[in-house]
Copies of this chain bind each other. A is one copy, B any other.
Amino acid sequence: MVGPGSESRLPRSDLAARWCIVMLISAVLVGPSTCAAKTRHFRWEVDYKYWSPDCVEGVVMSINGQFPGQTIRAVVGDTISVELTNKLSTEGVVIHWHGIRQLGTPWADGTASISQCPINPGETFTYRFKVDKAGTYFYHGHYGMQRSAGLYGSLVVQAGEGEKEPFRYDGEFNLLLSDWWHKTAHEQELGLSSVPFRWIGEPQALLINGRGQFSCSLAASYSNSTSAAQCKFGGGEQCAPLILPVLPNKTYRLRLASTTALASLNLAIGGHKMVVVEADGNYVQPFTVDDLDIYSGETYSILVTTDQDPRQNYWIAVGVRGRQPNTSQALTVLNYRPNSASKLPASPPPTTPLWNDYNHSKSFSSRILALAGSPRPPATHDRRIFLLNTQSKFNGQTKWSINNISLSLPPTPYLGSIKYNIHGAFDLRSPPESFPADYDVMRQPANPNSTVGSGLYTLGLNTTVDIILQNANALSANTSEIHPWHLHGHDFWVLGYGEGKFAAEDGDKRLNLNNPPLRNTAVIFPYGWTALRFVADNPGAWAFHCHIEPHLHMGMGIVLGEGLDAVGKMKIPGGAFACGLTAKMVANNDGHS
């Protein structure tokens, strides 16, 4: 076993002949130093790099020449400092720290147009923020579709000294799940904004820690089909799977995070049960499952006990849910040592549940409840905002709209506009709090035309806000899609899910105010609603959006302005706003970094 954050590879001689496997020896028994809180410094350079994530050469956005970016490991109370230099030629860049609430540091949230200006080529910006809660997080680009381009990595916050986690385990692994296209993110963006619309299609591969297989399959030998060849790795390939080496009769924590651009996923481990213990950096009431759904933007910790036949290895399989899949499962192996890592499991990989078996998904979601003793939501709300999610048309373009407004991000960041009280940087008219009562969510929109806008939902400090996400039929008949919504700057309580249109009397009765889970991402199911509650206690400008990146690019999001007076008094590093209408204000603000 090796130290924190390290990944080592077996010497080449140990690589098996059939498919030589790059091994992840990261079952961390000893975490990062658990002494007093400290600042963890990183110097990163973002650049494009040729890479073969799925055995086909393409171009990724790399951090310090690596894809995915390095895993950040820290301890509760630590400060993370990332000095990010943009080495791209003509593109700006930012990095969002997904799940970190950025209490008091809204400028470090890493959302272009919202919390900061894009970092220009050749320039450096330093993110500096505290990690105040143990859990499984990740980071990713939040400008255009740079997440699709591969700009992401894992962020793990371990419990502090004396902080006892409500479960025990002998080692841990970290699995960052993503999807990958052979078309560049630039071309995907273009297709999405073209008239006629060109959809990006299903991904060519699913990746586990940036590794997948497009042109071969690890499990081809189980299949009668000749469509994919058995993978043959010589060692060191960028697309060779990271194997999970385990010892029998131990318990392992698997930290799962999905940074997919599009795909909703399901993960299963052949022959093994999984106990779900954490979701989005919050402990949940442990429950046992055979497979687990994970939507883009979500994280989980699961416990796996290696209680199966130790002479065998076992598949870990990740497949697509919620959309008609056209992508092979991502596969890797739970390798019971001392078996060879290349020993094929006795059975084929577990089958992913049917993509449109939504009952299976809903059943899973409904089992996620807060661990006893977790913070409970306020009993009532001060304000309730209804957000109708529709697909729409604007100037011939296909859009996603919220209450019939498709989000168009302005060049001057909201946070800077608020801080410097600048007028004209975004639409001054407040966006609607609701939608027409007679809107039929079960049918195609009667009038598909929407507008674009950049209005701000302004929230009073420390008010309790409910958001009722309301799904509807898309532009095509009999179509309603899954949308995982992610809130920046906060966790929210997921008070409940329902079918059809949320009805106040009935809906309220069905909300769980007893032990709803705290999360930062929650899904709305097709034709359904999801009710969220949070306390607006973090002054800043915060994105709330569908975490499917092409959907966000098509306008599926809103921006919340919270505690505007408090933002005006904040000290913010000048570099955050050296663009647009705020550029001229930078001189008056020396910043604190």
Q: Interface residues, chain A, CB within 8 Å of chain B? A: 48-50, 59, 89-93, 112-113, 117-118, 120-123, 143-146, 184, 186-187, 189-190, 194, 409-411, 553, 574, 578-580, 583-588
Contact = CB atoms under 8 A, between A and B. Distances in A.
Given A123-B411, A411-B120, A584 B580 contact: no
Contact of A90 (B50, B144, B584): B144
Contact of A187 (B59, B90, B190, B580): B59
Contact of A194 (B50, B189, B580): B50
Contacts of A50: 190, 194
Copies of chain A in the complex: 2
A280 to B, nearest CB: 27
Contacts of A553: 89
In order of increasing CB-CB distance, the 7 nearest A-B pairs are: A122-B411, A578-B583, A90-B144, A89-B144, A584-B587, A587-B587, A90-B91
Given A89-B144, A144-B89, A580-B578, A410 B122 contact: yes
Contacts of A587: 584-588
Nearest to A124: B411
A574 B78 CA distance: 40
A144 to B, nearest CB: 4
A80 B361 CA distance: 60
Contacts of A586: 583-584, 587
Contacts of A123: 411, 579-580
B411 A121 contact: yes
Contact of A118 (B120, B143, B184): B120
Contacts of A144: 89-90
B583 A145 contact: no
Contacts of A117: 120
A189 B93 CA distance: 17
Contacts of A118: 90, 120-121
A585 B586 CA distance: 9
A145 B48 CA distance: 15
Contact of A146 (B49, B90, B112, B146): B90
B578 A122 contact: no
19 contacts: A48-B190, A89-B144, A89-B145, A90-B92, A90-B93, A90-B118, A90-B144, A91-B91, A91-B92, A92-B121, A120-B120, A123-B411, A184-B184, A574-B583, A574-B584, A578-B583, A579-B579, A583-B586, A587-B588
B579 A584 contact: no
Contacts of A113: 122
Nearest to A454: B122
**A49, A93, A122, A184 pick with most chain B CB within 10 angstroms:** A122
Nearest to A589: B584
Contact of A120 (B187, B574, B579): B579
Given A48-B186, A91-B90, A580 B120 contact: yes
A521 B524 CA distance: 61
A554 to B, nearest CB: 12
A89 B146 CA distance: 10
Given A89-B553, A578-B584, 8 more contacts: A49-B190, A50-B194, A90-B146, A91-B92, A120-B579, A122-B580, A574-B584, A587-B587
Contacts of A146: 90
User: Which of A145, A186, A580 has the most chain B CB atoms inside 10 A of its CB?
Assistant: A186
B121 A189 contact: no
Contacts of A121: 92, 118, 411
A588 B587 CA distance: 9
Contacts of A93: 90
A122 to B, nearest CB: 3
Most buried by B among A89, A123, A146, A579: A89
B189 A186 contact: no
A117 B190 CA distance: 24
Contacts of A189: 48, 89
Contacts of A143: 90
A578 B416 CA distance: 14
B90 A190 contact: no
